Amino acid sequence: MAAEAVKPWWRETIETIIWAFVLAMIIRTFIVQAFWIPSGSMIPTLEVGDRVLVAKFWNVFFEPKRGSLYVFRYPVDRERDFVKRIIAIPGDVVDIQNGIVYINGEPTDEPYVKRHDYFTMRPSNIFPEVPFKVPEGKYFMLGDNRGNSQDSRFWGFADIDDMRGPVFFRYWPLDRIGIPK
């Protein structure tokens, strides 16, 4: 039996680096991606500087649900990603009066909103009729810090094809590590 040829150390190192890079790109593209929270639109749930993990594969198996935190491609600038809470799903009828969100005629219970504003939906170019129905394949997204959130009230709906995935874990800062609600 012939002895196996031993690869030089430099070739082993290069192969290991290449395989690690390929594996990292596959994981980041299809499975899990880390995101940094740059604004205060989700306070107190997510704070400026928080780092979260998003399950990018989730939408293949499950429909996005009302109340979930999602990262999605910002419809106004498709180079940016936003994180907001899904407030209404396709088919829901939405209205906002004096800061209270009504889904299908019922006021919502939103314990995650600590700073209520007094926003009232009015007919506009984005929403010509109020209340309005969320179209198929679209989601109505709001920030938890309503007075400081650029959200669906101002730019319309997020498309299902732009949904990156749900936020499932905060890994930074260490004193806030865990599952954001």
* Catalytic (active-site) positions: 41, 84
Does some domain include residue 2? no
User: Is residue 121 included in any domain, yes or no?
Assistant: yes
- The reply to whether 141 falls in a domain is yes
What is the residue-level pLDDT of the chain in tens, covering all 181 positions? 556 678 888 888 888 788 877 777 776 666 788 899 999 999 999 999 999 999 988 777 888 999 999 999 999 998 999 999 999 999 999 999 999 999 999 999 999 998 888 889 898 888 999 999 999 999 999 999 998 999 999 999 999 999 999 999 999 999 999 989 8
In this structure, is residue 75 part of a structural domain? yes
Q: If we measure between CA atoms, which residue out of 121, 163, 120, 104 comes closest to residue 138?
A: 163
**8 Å CB contact between 170 and 177:** yes
Q: Identify whether 137 is part of a domain.
A: yes
Q: Is residue 18 part of a domain?
A: no
Cα gap 150→52, rounded to integer Å: 20
Q: How many domains does the chain have?
A: 1
**Beta strands 69-73; 51-55: pairing state:** unpaired
Domain of 48 in residue numbering reads as 33-176
77, part of any domain: yes
Candidates 145, 33, 8; CA nearest to 84 is 145
What CATH number should be reported for the domain holding residue 93? 2.10.109.10
Residue 11 lies in a domain: no
SS3 159: strand
